[in-house]
Structure 1
Amino acid sequence: MTTATAVRSPLRSPQFRRVIAAEFISSVGTQMTTLALPWFVLMTSGSPARMGLVFLAQILPVPLLSMPAGLLVARWGARRVTIVGDLCSATLAATVPVLYVADLLPFWALLLIVAGIGCVASAYLSAQRMLLTETIDLDEGVVTAGNALFETATSTARLVGPAIAGFFIAQFGALNVLWIDAASFVVSAALLTGLPRRATTPQASSAHNMTEGVRYLFKDPVLRTMSLAALGYGTLMPVVLLALPVIAKSRYDADPHAAGWLLAAWGGGTALGTVVVARLARKISPPRLAAAGGVGAAVVLWLLPWDQPVTTLMLTVAASCMFLPGVTAPAVSLMMLRPPEHLRPHVFPVFGAAVFVASPIAYGVAGVLFEHLSVGTVLTAVAVGASLCALVLLNLVRRPGRP
């Protein structure tokens, strides 16, 4: 591991700042849609299961297409994939209100459009991270700090977006919020268009390297353990996210402002956590940082099942999410730096699949569970699962001879 004290901060790179700005702007629009679209379905149908299907349709393509998406990123380059993804996402987001105004938006059509957004995201997510590493020095501490700053932009958008969305939903209706999302993707594409192109390695797009990337991930003990923990959090945290609008509807008189503030608390806690992780990244090794984040998140998640005023619930949600960047930023930096350079475009999508593979099932099952069980019962099960994930990460730190 290299000491990063002499390496300049990622924020000194103008290219890195443009990537961060593009991520923040597009994420604000996305987070507004994250509240507006499920809220529209929940209010018009009254069914948490249908709301869960919307989340399911959006997230399902990510694990299914993550490996082919890695080949696409390796062949086209991260910059081109990200720009094309921005433009496709803008078009799909704008299609929803257009079809609704024309009275041509049955539920199955909405699911198809949302699935299209998920297909774009399957390549977009890994391309964004690869684009980030192209703008900073490939030092472990710097990349971890860069990923933490990247997540700061995303999580700050999670704070700002839902709060704004709650206001706009009450004033103009849920689907009109999607116009803002479409515009944010256009601005993001414009910011990334001027970035210098980076030559791609021809052999990186071969199926052989994809297979080698999978083998490397499962042979490396650190990456394998991180992927196992990521699989656990990929199962549990979507349940918490889906619970927030359900809680707003059942406990707080179906107030869209309450739903917005709960999702904003999710983003605010994550934003605070990313700032802390960015400062600690050069002082604490990624495995130890991930273990600390996992333990902290597990402890606070035990407070979520209790019935409480919306203010204290917001603080609890924020506190639980504050520890998550301590897990995700180190995991992403290790996935980017431990493999050989020619395998990195293939290892990271496999890791992304580990994160997202359980999410579609979690969204689908959670929607049904919330129709038959109390929210507190489901969230208690989430706290148990998070505690097991924390034990997995602690085992990585305590293992003798850890790489």
Structure 2
Amino acid sequence: MTARDATGAEADAARIPGPRSLRPLGGVLTAMALSLTGTRISLVALPWFVLVTTGSATRTGLVVFCEMAPYVLVKALTGPVVDRTGPRAVSWTADLASATAAALVPLLHVLHLLAFPVLLFLVAVIGAARGPGDLAKEVMVPEAAERGRVPLERATGLSGVIERLASTVGPATGGALVALVGPMTGLVVNAGCLVLGSVVIALLLPRGVGRAAEEAPPRADGEAEPGYWRRFGEGFTFLRGEPLLLTVIVMVGITNLLDAAIGSVLIPVWARESGNGPAAIGLMGSAMGAAAVAGSLIAAAVASRLRRRTVVLAGFLLAGAPRFLVLASGAPLGVVLAVFAVSGFGAGFINPVLGAVLFERVPRRMLGRVNALGDSLAWAGIPLGGLLAGAAVAATGLAPVLIACATAYFLTTNLAGLRPEWREMDRTRRTDRAGARKAVT
């Protein structure tokens, strides 16, 4: 029996009965929008605060590391908890914890109690709480799509639109806040967004949405329900049997490391050295985010009719190396914004396709632990991105690091796309459609 035969999400879970309702999907997407927008604001405000107060690119990278390392680690370990407890409860409690830690940063700064070690501890708490919160909302997307009778690729496309909108509004808002009233205000806004997202999940979603995933039927011999570590191991066992998912995860892990490097360190350093300042960071993020929204909207509408492998490879070709190269070239801000817009448009097509592939191949009862492991492996390089970029810039300067990152991005995405298992992206969808036609007839 193949992994797809045994674990296809379409065949694994029965359709949710009852009338069609878009309220669950709308609620989940709203909570995503709030938490992601707050996070994007913080991603501009916090690195800029550290850079201008310490003057150190290395310390800026260290702060990013201390947030993202707990994010990745805790997210990986939370998967069985999400499956057992239910994503709804995990989402709102984790968001509240992250909001509390985020609010303490400006409070302690005002009281002159924010020593650098204290800041590192608080951003670690923010990351550790944010990981489970993000995972839980992602896990609720397939269920919300089923309740609304929305095709999976369209639902993942809409979640991609939300992510890209947050990447548009967040950096613009963050840059404006930093320029006008200082970076600490951005952290206050981040905390408020997380609180509102928690309220949406806890109080506004319909009852019954986001409950614990149903485990497989118990064995006839009365074997006890699997414990935490057995559930955790099941996720690894599943991923080992999915070469396509493993290849995608490794590739995305490398590109995420490079994206973290440019977003958290290389762009702020470029903005300072070029004299464009924090407002340029917001403009660049907004240009890329707005174009990515357009790309995600188109992907949500037409991705089901396109060859997935071609879409993903073309998206990475546009989204990767050009951003690094234009910064290294010393081009004026207008050219930089144009290149970032083109890159954003390509990036908008990537996540809807990869998200649909994941949800199709993973059974609902294991979605939390498998998604947690996959995300954590894909995000494992993010904590190192800022740290390595900061050290490399201090050692060699900005331009050589940008060129090296562009080369690594191009080779990683193109070499991964040549692997034979990537053909399964399109084969899986053809199998699903054939099954759907057979069911109808």
TM-score in same-fold range (> 0.5) = yes
C-alpha distance 390-141 of structure 1, shift in aligned 2 (>3 A): farther
Paired with 1:189 and 1:141, the residues of 2 have a C-alpha distance of 24
Residue among 127, 137, 152 paired with 1:143? 152
Deviation at 1:298, TM superposition (A): 4.1
* 1:25 and 1:184 in contact (8 A); partners too: yes
Larger mean Cα displacement after TM superposition, 215-224 or 48-57: 215-224
**CA-CA distance at 1:204 after TM superposition:** 7.5
Deviation per residue, 1:359-395 (Å, 9 max, x gap)? 1112111011122223222121122122122224432
- Aligned residue identity for 2:73: L
SS of 2:184 mapped into structure 1: coil
Which of 53, 72, 80 is the aligned partner of 1:71? 80
In structure 1, give the amino acid aligned to 2:275: Y
Residue number in structure 1 paired with 2:39: 30
Residues 209-268 of structure 1: CA deviation (Å, up to 9, x unaligned):
321221221221211221121122122111121311111100025x22122212323322
Structure 1: distance between partners of 2:149 and 2:387: 37
Q: Specify whether residues 62 and 399 from structure 1 end up closer, same or farther in structure 2 by C-alpha distance, changes over 3 A only.
A: closer
Name 2:366's counterpart in structure 1: 343
| Mapping of residues 203-214 of structure 1, within 5 Å | 206-214=228-236
Deviation at 1:78, TM superposition (A): 0.9
How far off its partner does 1:138 sit? Answer: 9.2
Question: What SS class does the counterpart of residue 323 from structure 1 fall into?
Answer: helix
1:8 corresponds in structure 2 to none
Give me the whole-angstrom Cα distance separating, in 2, the residues matched to 1:138 and 1:395.
37
Alignment of 1:52-71 (within 5 A): 52-71=61-80
Kindly state the Cα deviation for residue 48 of structure 1 after the two structures are TM-superposed: 0.9
RMSD (Å) for aligned C-alpha atoms: 2.5
CA drift of 1:274 comes to 1.5
Q: Secondary structure at the match of 1:104?
A: coil
- 1:281 counterpart letter in structure 2: A
Q: 2:309 is aligned with what amino acid?
A: P
What runs of 5+ residues in structure 2 fail to find an aligned partner?
A: 1-7, 11-19, 216-224, 429-441
8 Å CA contact 1:62, 1:118 repeated in 2: yes
Quote how far apart the aligned CAs of 1:317 are: 2.0
- Of the structure 1 ranges 255-264 and 183-192, higher mean CA displacement relative to structure 2 is found in 255-264
Structure 1 residues 82, 331: closer, same or farther in 2, change over 3 A? Answer: same
Please say which of residues 109-118 and 21-30 is displaced more in the overlay.
21-30
CA distance in 1, matches of 2:393, 2:401: 8
Which residue number in structure 1 is paired with residue 439 of structure 2? none
Cα separation, partners in 2 of 1:43 and 1:88, compared to 1, 3 Å: same
SS in 1 for 2:151: helix
Are positions 1:90 and 2:99 aligned together?
yes
Secondary structure of 2:244 counterpart: helix
Larger mean CA deviation between 210-219 and 362-371 belongs to 210-219
**Aligned pair in 2 of structure 1 residues 284, 206: CA closer, same or farther (>3 Å)?**
farther
* 2:408 pairs with one of 385, 396, 402: 385
Matches within 5 A, 1:250-265: 250-252=273-275, 255-265=277-287
Amino acid corresponding to residue 194 of structure 2 in structure 1? F
Q: Which is worse superposed, 284-293 or 331-340? A: 284-293
Tell me, in whole angstroms, the C-alpha distance in 2 between the residues paired with 1:252 and 1:12. Answer: 51
Q: Is the 8 A contact 1:86 1:185 kept in 2?
A: yes
Identity of aligned residues (%): 25
Q: In the alignment, is residue 107 of structure 1 matched against residue 130 of structure 2?
A: no
Are 1:210 and 1:343, in contact at CA under 8 Å, matched by a contact in 2? no
Q: Is the 8 A contact 1:75 1:205 kept in 2?
A: no
1:322-401 map, 5 Å:
322-396=345-419
Alignment-derived partner of residue 261 in structure 2: 239
Structure 2 counterpart of 1:81, one-letter code:
V
Which of 291, 298, 301 matches 1:279? 301
Q: Distance in 2 between matches of 1:373 and 1:290?
A: 33
Select 1:294's aligned residue among 304, 313, 316.
316
In the other structure, the counterpart of 2:433 is: none
Given that 1:234 and 1:359 are in contact with CA atoms closer than 8 Å, whether structure 2 keeps it comes out as yes
Tell me if the contact between 2:75 and 2:128 (Cα under 8 Å) persists in the aligned partners.
no
Which residue, out of 125, 136, 146, partners 2:134?
125
Partner residue, 2:192: 183
Shift of 1:284: 2.2
CA contact (8 A) 2:102 2:190 kept: yes
User: 5+ residue gaps in structure 1?
Assistant: 3-10
Moved more, 62-71 or 286-295: 286-295
Q: CA offsets, 1:69-119, max 9 Å, x none? A: 102211221111111122112111110111111111001100110010110
Q: Report Cα offsets for 1:4-53 as digits up to 9, x if no partner.
A: xxxxxxx9712111221222223222211111111111111111111111
Q: 1:162, 1:285 → 2: CA distance?
A: 32
- In structure 2, what is the Cα distance between the partners aligned to 1:116 and 1:134? 29
- TM-superposed deviation, 1:165: 2.2
Partners of 1:184 and 1:66 lie apart in 2 by 20
State the AA in 1 paired with 2:67. Q
2:106 and 2:321 map into 1 onto residues whose CA distance is 41
- Report which stretch shifted further, 225-234 or 207-216: 207-216
1:58 and 1:114 in contact (8 A); partners too: yes
8 A Cα contact 1:72 1:123, kept in partner: no
Q: Does 1:225 align with 2:250?
A: no
How many Å separate the matches in 2 of 1:394 and 1:341? 27
Partners of 2:25 and 2:148 within 8 A in 1:
no
1:357 alignment partner, SS class: coil
Which deviates the most, 40-49 or 146-155?
146-155
The structure-2 alpha-carbon separation of the partners of 1:186 and 1:55, relative to structure 1 and needing over 3 Å to count, comes to same
Q: 2:92 touches 2:198 (CA, 8 Å); kept in 1?
A: yes
Structure number, greater radius of gyration: 2
Instruction: Give the alignment partner of residue 308 of structure 1, picking from 331, 348, 371.
Output: 331
Count of aligned positions: 394
| Contact 2:135-2:372 within 8 A present in 1 as well | yes
* SS of alignment partner, residue 145 of structure 2: coil
